[in-house]
């Protein structure tokens, strides 16, 4: 199944590549050959070319063609087609490698992993099958997926609007009853399932248990790193006075950023919940919910906004798109800019503490392995 699905996608991408090759403004055959060879280059070679693109502020296309003695001159239409061609070739390469690793690897690790996974969960699957009417459960799941797909599809030609948070909230409320019925049947008819889940939950919580109570002394608000606190303190103490001052300043800014992020996420969630209980969905959606609840989504959006992209022109001063240019790094202390919380620069923290932090993690993992029963 994996091979067939990915092969179909590869075929479609190759059709697109053929269209570009035959386009009126297409790059020359030699230039297309160079672009086709790029995905097969080693990681070091690709990194070298990307670095050249960044340092010289030139397009990745120009950087690739510069590796050859042939002319790298391209018109704007040809450059646009070259970017599309490179994107297609990279997509083909990705899928070919996925097929190779997942479907043709020897030994067959995927099949073995699936069998082991099924064997582990076999008692749970059998108990669930006895406790719950799986037929109605699957029907409810199919109905939910149908609604989710229909809501998520955006057809610009038909003028379909982009779904809002409230649209997804209403969809979840619509299917809430079927979820409750499934859980009720599992708990009522599968006492063993309930007991297994309690054991799992207790075991998971124990993994976060702080074994050394003195580790958090002097900390407020539960912000200590538990048993790892002394290790972190030692890392910071090993820095020079100037380095320590710089690191602590950046950490204070980052802490303020996380606090502001949590506050914004809570504000969005509160507004979303209130909107689901009132008839003012659209008003609250636009007036109060500027963004999505969840710290992860806010961070992810920032990563997208600040991701460097190759410029459309052959050469440009900044290798960023317009969105990234507007979201350039700013030294802030967690304040909101245009409704968006942006993180401060913490490169010095990573540079000075990163290597030692990784070493401490390795030591901790090795120590935990030694404590495990054989």
Q: Kindly report, residue by residue over 203-216, the tens digit of the pLDDT.
A: 988 877 776 665 55
Q: Kindly report, residue by residue over 48-79, the tens digit of the pLDDT.
A: 999 998 888 888 998 999 887 766 678 889 99
Tell me the percentage of the chain whose pLDDT exceeds 90.
Answer: 44
Confidence at 317, pLDDT banded by 50, 70, 90? very low
Mention every residue, 6+ apart, whose C-beta is less than 8 A from residue 1: none
Mean pLDDT of 214-222: 49
Confidence at 337, pLDDT banded by 50, 70, 90? very low
pLDDT at 252: 93
Mention every residue, 6+ apart, whose C-beta is less than 8 A from residue 271: 284, 288, 289
Length of the chain: 374
pLDDT at 319 over 50: no
pLDDT at 301: 76
pLDDT at 219 over 80: no
Confidence at 87, pLDDT banded by 50, 70, 90? very high
Mean pLDDT of 210-234: 65
Confidence at 270, pLDDT banded by 50, 70, 90? confident
pLDDT at 264: 83
pLDDT at 338 over 50: no
* Distance, CA of 25 to CA of 15 (rounded, Å): 17
Mean pLDDT of 144-167: 83
**Residue carrying the six token digits 């086709």:** 36
Cβ(334)–Cβ(101) below 8 Å: no
What are the structure tokens assigned to 343, written together? 């993180």
* C-alpha triplet 79, 82, 85: angle, nearest 5°: 155
If DSSP states are collapsed to H, E and C, what string results for the chain?
CHHHHHHHHHHHHHHHHHHHHCCCCCCCHHHHHHHHHHHHCCHHHHHHHHHHHHHCCECHHHHHHCCCCCCCCCCHHHHHHHHHHHHHHHHHHHHHHHHHHHHCCCCCHHHHHHHHHHHHHHHHHHHHHHHCCHHHHHHHHHHHHHHHHHHHCCCHHHCCCCCCHHHHHHHHHHCHHHHHHHHHHHHHHCHHHHHHHHHHHHHHHHCCCCCCHHHHCCCCCCCCCHHHHHHHHHHHHCCCHHHHHHHHHHHHHHHHHHHHHHHHHHHHHHHHHHHHHCCCHHHHHHHCCCCCCCHHHHHHHHHHHCCCCCCCCCECCCCCCHHHHHCCCCCCCCCEECCEECCCCCHHHHHHHHHHHHHHHHHHHHHHHHHCCC
Q: Of 331 and 316, which is predicted with more confidence?
A: 316
pLDDT at 284 over 90: no
Mean pLDDT of 334-348: 65
pLDDT at 314: 55
Mean pLDDT of 70-95: 89
pLDDT at 225: 74
* Distance, CA of 344 to CA of 228 (rounded, Å): 24
Query: Beta 340-341 vs 336-337: how paired, if at all?
Result: antiparallel
pLDDT at 293: 65
Q: Which of 45-59, 149-163, 360-374 has the highest mean pLDDT?
A: 45-59
Average confidence score pLDDT of the chain:
81
């Amino acid at each position: 199944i994996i091979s067939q699905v990915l092969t179909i996608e590869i075929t479609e991408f190759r059709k697109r590549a053929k269209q570009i090759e035959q386009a009126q403004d297409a790059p020359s055959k030699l230039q297309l050959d160079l672009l086709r060879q790029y995905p097969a280059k080693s990681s070091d070679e690709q990194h070298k070319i990307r670095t050249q693109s960044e340092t010289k502020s030139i397009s990745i296309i120009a950087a690739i063609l510069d590796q050859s003695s042939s002319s790298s001159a391209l018109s704007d239409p040809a450059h646009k087609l070259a970017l599309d061609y490179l994107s297609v070739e990279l997509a083909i390469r990705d899928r070919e490698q996925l097929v190779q690793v997942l479907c043709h690897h020897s030994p067959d690790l995927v099949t073995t992993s699936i069998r082991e996974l099924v064997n582990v969960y076999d008692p749970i699957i059998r108990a669930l099958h006895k406790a719950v009417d799986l037929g109605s459960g699957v029907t409810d799941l199919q109905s939910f997926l149908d609604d989710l797909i229909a809501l998520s599809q955006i057809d610009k030609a038909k003028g379909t609007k982009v779904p809002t948070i409230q649209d997804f909230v209403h969809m979840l409320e619509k299917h809430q009853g079927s979820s409750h019925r499934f859980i009720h049947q599992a708990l009522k008819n599968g006492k063993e399932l309930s007991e297994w889940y309690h054991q799992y939950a207790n075991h998971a919580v124990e993994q976060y248990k702080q074994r050394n109570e003195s580790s958090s002394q002097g900390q407020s608000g539960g912000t200590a790193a538990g048993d790892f606190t002394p290790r972190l303190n030692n890392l910071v103490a090993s820095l020079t006075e100037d380095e320590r001052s710089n690191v602590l300043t950046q950490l204070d800014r980052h802490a303020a950023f996380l606090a502001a992020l949590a506050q914004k996420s809570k504000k969005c969630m509160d507004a979303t919940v209130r909107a689901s209980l009132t008839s003012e969905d659209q008003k609250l959606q636009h007036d109060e919910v500027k963004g999505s609840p969840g710290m992860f989504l806010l961070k992810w959006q920032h990563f997208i906004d600040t991701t460097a992209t190759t410029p459309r022109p052959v050469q440009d001063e900044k290798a960023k798109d317009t969105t990234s240019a507007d979201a350039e790094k700013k030294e802030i202390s967690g304040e909101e800019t245009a409704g968006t919380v942006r993180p401060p620069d913490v490169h010095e923290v990573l540079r000075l503490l990163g290597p030692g932090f990784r070493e401490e993690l390795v030591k901790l993992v090795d120590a935990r392995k030694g404590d495990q029963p054989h």
